[in-house]
């Protein structure tokens, strides 16, 4: 089960499952990679995004830019995709987040397995060969970041083979940013996040 922890103190506040509105740096780190990067392997991708669970932190423009740029990258690879945002799912639209006490903060559970299970019929209709789960693992701010309203966050990515259920790729993108920036800056920063991740399942062709 994916979790979000919130830990409050004088110098550090962790808000798991939230993100800032813009990003100023990103890098993807593969934590598990069993993906065979053969052309045509990923044909139809069903994307589950849980980033909108706290859209009030990082804003609708970030979400729109992320989906648009992932769509563009996948289309360039000849991959068809469909999306399900958590708040638009049957689970997210009919239930409230459950907050439980946890030490000095709190823990919020997002029902990732249930959301996927309840959407299996849509996956079959879309002939999905793979599913991609995008999840806000953590976000926080500390020190001067509090005064500048600058967030740091980690986005988790999990790529799964629909037929076998095997995890082909799991990793994270560490990002930093402020909630308000110019549109062109937001576009460029989201591009870095997307490019970092997409370079693993779809590595760029090396010049001869």
The Cα–Cα gap between 97 and 110 comes to 7
Number of H helices, E strands in the chain: 7, 10
Listed by start position, the domains of the chain span: 2-198
CB–CB of 26/151 below 8 Å? Answer: no
- Bridge partners, residue 156, by sequence: 135, 172
pLDDT tens digits in sequence order for the chain, 208 residues long: 444 433 333 233 333 333 334 444 447 999 999 986 555 689 999 999 998 887 766 778 888 999 999 999 999 999 999 999 999 998 887 766 655 554 433 445 788 999 999 999 999 999 999 999 999 888 666 555 555 666 677 899 999 999 999 999 999 998 876 666 678 878 888 999 999 999 999 988 776 6
E strand segments, the chain: 2-8, 12-15, 25-33, 44-49, 80-85, 98-102, 105-110, 130-142, 151-161, 167-177
């Amino acid at each position: 089960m994916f979790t979000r922890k919130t830990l409050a103190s004088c110098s550090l506040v962790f808000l798991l499952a939230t993100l800032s509105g813009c990003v100023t740096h990103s890098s993807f780190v593969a934590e598990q990679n069993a993906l065979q990067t053969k052309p045509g392997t990923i044909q139809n991708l069903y994307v589950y995004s849980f980033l909108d669970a706290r859209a009030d932190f990082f804003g609708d423009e970030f979400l729109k830019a992320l989906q648009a740029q992932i769509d563009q990258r996948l289309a360039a690879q000849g991959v068809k995709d469909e999306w399900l945002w958590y708040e638009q799912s049957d689970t997210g639209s009919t239930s409230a987040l459950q907050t439980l006490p946890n030490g000095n903060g709190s823990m919020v559970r997002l029902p990732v397995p249930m959301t996927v299970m309840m959407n299996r019929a849509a996956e079959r209709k879309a002939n999905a060969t793979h599913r991609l789960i995008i999840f806000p693992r953590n976000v926080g701010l500390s020190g001067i970041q509090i005064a500048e309203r600058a967030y740091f966050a980690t986005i988790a990515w999990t790529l799964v083979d629909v037929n076998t259920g095997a995890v082909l790729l799991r990793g994270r993108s560490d990002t930093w940013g402020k909630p308000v920036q110019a549109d062109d800056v937001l576009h460029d920063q989201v591009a870095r996040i997307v490019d970092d991740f997409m370079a693993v399942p779809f590595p760029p062709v090396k010049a001869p």
